[in-house]
A and B are shown apart, each in its own frame.
Chain A
Amino acid sequence: DAKTTQPPSMDCAEGRAANLPCNHSTISGNEYVYWYRQIHSQGPQYIIHGLKNNETNEMASLIITEDRKSSTLILPHATLRDTAVYYCIVRVVSYNTDKLIFGTGTRLQVFP
């Protein structure tokens, strides 16, 4: 199964863009990249996902490299409430399975 590698922690000033990198060099062609975040020990919260193209929604943007071996989650204007652990995840789906493969995540600290 494909796995992801993320830096264990990052800091970001409030109001600035937070750029969270992720490596997934063994990802297969039909496997999606998902991002979730977890605040304290709450249930993981969906942020965004993509396959090949860059994606944007009201929360964030996802930039996927052309070779799909890495991606970057961008929070354009970080707030204190964005402090959380961010997980870059490969989603493996087939006719008989649907699995999110979590890494250990990046702990993002947004400071005033």
Chain B
Amino acid sequence: EAQVTQNPRYLITVTGKKLTVTCSQNMNHEYMSWYRQDPGLGLRQIYYSMNVEVTDKGDVPEGYKVSRKEKRNFPLILESPSPNQTSLYFCASSLTPSGVETQYFGPGTRLLVL
């Protein structure tokens, strides 16, 4: 089944404790992206990757890192999480960065930083 998977789905952590949220897709998609969703603000793009070893900042990249060492995986890294990073996170992918190619979203990761 074609899908985008994220792990963990739920995470509670404390300020300053490094964490990684994994994202994987099995559709051989070139493009992958991370979004965060906050009440009243909708979804905002954090980072994106046009292909392997190519990443760039989205609208809200502060406090996050990403890597794209292989096509299927695009982990989101919080080196020193803070409470303002408490949010619902979504990974998305599409075959290519093109207006006609649908972006598929993962199920989401709910993060609470104490």
Cβ contacts under 8 Å, A31 to chain B: 99
Which DSSP category, helix, strand, loop or mixed, fits chain A's interface?
Answer: strand
- Chain B: how many interface residues by the 8 Å CB criterion? 32
**Once the chains bind, are B99 and A30 in contact (CB under 8 Å)?**
yes
Interface string of A96-112 (1 = CB under 8 A from B): 11111011110000000
A46 touching B104 in the complex, CB below 8 Å, given contacts A98-B97, A98-B98, A102-B44: yes
**Once the chains bind, are A96 and B99 in contact (CB under 8 Å)?**
no
Cβ contacts under 8 Å, A49 to chain B: 99-100, 102
Show the binding face of A for B, using Cβ within 8 Å: 30-32, 36, 41-46, 49, 51, 87, 91, 93, 96-100, 102-105
Show the binding face of B for A, using Cβ within 8 Å: 4, 31, 33, 35, 37, 40-45, 48, 50, 56, 58-59, 88, 90, 92, 94, 97-100, 102-108, 110
